[in-house]
């Protein structure tokens, strides 16, 4: 949700539902072996948030846990619909906090516009060659270090941003009661 609030702004008001269907999870090691079976879980399996952004635009967020694979191999689908078109970001069923080869970005400009798929495989324009040559799991961390060294605070989270995210999480939790 950090990307959501950073890109679209915060909520003016919201309603939410939090539901846990699976109260435990297995903790696995790097080899894929279970080291702590049935560990108590504190995060909900389903989160639904519906509200109005500070800009006045409506927003709907849903998160769900599925057993096994999703129907289409997509772990995250983010649709942004605006007055000038629509953007869709999809991420495969892997760790979503890092880039992965299954990430796609599609854009439709205007009401009747053609859908354009944006190539993300080549990395970010203007990106350091060394970062482009890194594996998928290392690129995100390398970009964060680079932004920190360059003093580009818009590209990484800071303490104030973390406080704002916790306020949002508290608001979502409170609204779900």
pLDDT tens string 144-159: 888 889 888 887 788 8
For residue 116, the 8-state DSSP code is: E
Q: Is residue 136 part of a domain?
A: no
Least confident of 70-74, 76-80, 93-97, 113-117: 93-97
Residue 5 lies in a domain: no
7 inside domain: no
pLDDT at 112 over 70: yes
Confidence at residue 1, expressed as pLDDT on a 0 to 100 scale? 44
pLDDT band of residue 116 (cuts 50, 70, 90) is: very high
Q: How confident is the model at residue 175 (pLDDT cuts 50, 70, 90)?
A: very high
Whether residue 100 is contained in a domain is answered as yes
Tally of structural domains, the chain:
1
Query: What's the average model confidence in pLDDT over 170-175?
Result: 95
Does residue 98 fall inside a structural domain?
A: yes
In a domain, 137, yes or no: no
The pair of structure tokens assigned to 58 is: 């409506």
* Bridge partners for 104 per DSSP: 90
Q: Is residue 111 part of a domain?
A: yes
Q: 3-class secondary structure for 71-108?
A: CCCEEEEEEEEECCEEEEEEEECCCCCCCCCCCEEEEE
pLDDT digits (tens, 9 = 90+) for 66-88: 777 888 888 888 898 888 999 99
Residue 177 reports pLDDT greater than 60? yes
What pLDDT is recorded for position 124?
Answer: 60
Q: Does the residue 1 lie in any domain?
A: no
Full domain range(s) for residue 83: 75-121
Looking at residue 4, what is its pLDDT? 54
């Amino acid at each position: 949700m950090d990307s959501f609030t950073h890109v679209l702004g915060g909520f003016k008001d919201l309603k939410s539902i939090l539901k846990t269907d699976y109260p435990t999870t297995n903790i696995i090691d790097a080899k894929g072996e279970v080291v702590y079976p049935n560990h108590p879980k504190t995060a909900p399996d389903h989160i639904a948030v519906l509200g109005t952004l500070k800009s006045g635009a409506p927003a709907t967020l849903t998160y769900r846990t599925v057993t096994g694979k999703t129907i289409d191999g997509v772990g995250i689908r983010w649709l942004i619909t605006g007055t000038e078109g629509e953007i869709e970001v999809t991420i495969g069923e892997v760790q979503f906090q890092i880039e992965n080869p299954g990430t796609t970005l599609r854009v439709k400009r205007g009401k009747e516009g053609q859908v354009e798929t944006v190539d993300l495989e080549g990395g970010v324009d203007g990106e350091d060659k060394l970062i482009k040559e890194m594996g998928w799991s290392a690129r995100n961390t390398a970009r964060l270090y680079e932004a920190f060294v360059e003093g580009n605070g818009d590209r990484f989270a800071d303490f104030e941003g973390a406080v704002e995210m916790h306020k949002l999480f508290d608001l979502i939790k409170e609204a779900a009661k």
